[in-house]
Amino acid sequence: MVDEYKDNLIMGKTYHFSLMVIELYKFLIQQKKEYVLSKQLLRCGTSIGANINEAQAAISKEARESKYWLMLLKDSGYIDPDKEKVKALLKEIDSIINITTKIVKSSQTNAK
């Protein structure tokens, strides 16, 4: 993890998640020859941290979209749901969604 994010839980988690997504993307295009779904996952999965870093309001949208594409890849058979890396990705995105949802709710409460 980048030292810059060591004191920021959500930035560290989203950065790590982006690296995991990139690794999965490489596997999907090289081994499975899957280009459409993997590109979509790469785009939204790596943009979560960028959105948070830019402090945009829709931070949880990309996380939820990433989960959608991961589930689609899993359920369509492109990725093995029993692989530890897939399980780790799904666990990590659930954690990111929970954190970003709490951030958004807290921001909305504090804005009132």
What are the tens digits of pLDDT across the range 29-82?
999 999 999 999 999 999 998 887 765 455 677 888 899 899 999 988 999 989
Of 35, 48, 30, give the one whose Cα is nearest residue 89: 48
| Boundaries of domain holding 55 | 9-107
Please report whether residue 98 resides in a domain: yes
pTM over 0.85: no
**Amino acid type, 10:** I
Q: What angle do CA 17, 22, 25 make, to 5 degrees?
A: 125
Give the helix ranges, DSSP H, for 4-83. Answer: 9-30, 36-53, 59-75
Please report whether residue 31 resides in a domain: yes
Please report whether residue 47 resides in a domain: yes
Please report whether residue 88 resides in a domain: yes
Please report whether residue 4 resides in a domain: no
Count of domains forming the chain = 1
Please report whether residue 1 resides in a domain: no
Asked if 63 contacts 94 with a C-beta cutoff of 8 angstroms, the reply is no
User: In the prediction, which pLDDT does 56 show?
Assistant: 47
Please report whether residue 81 resides in a domain: yes
CATH number of the CATH domain containing 60? 1.20.1440.60
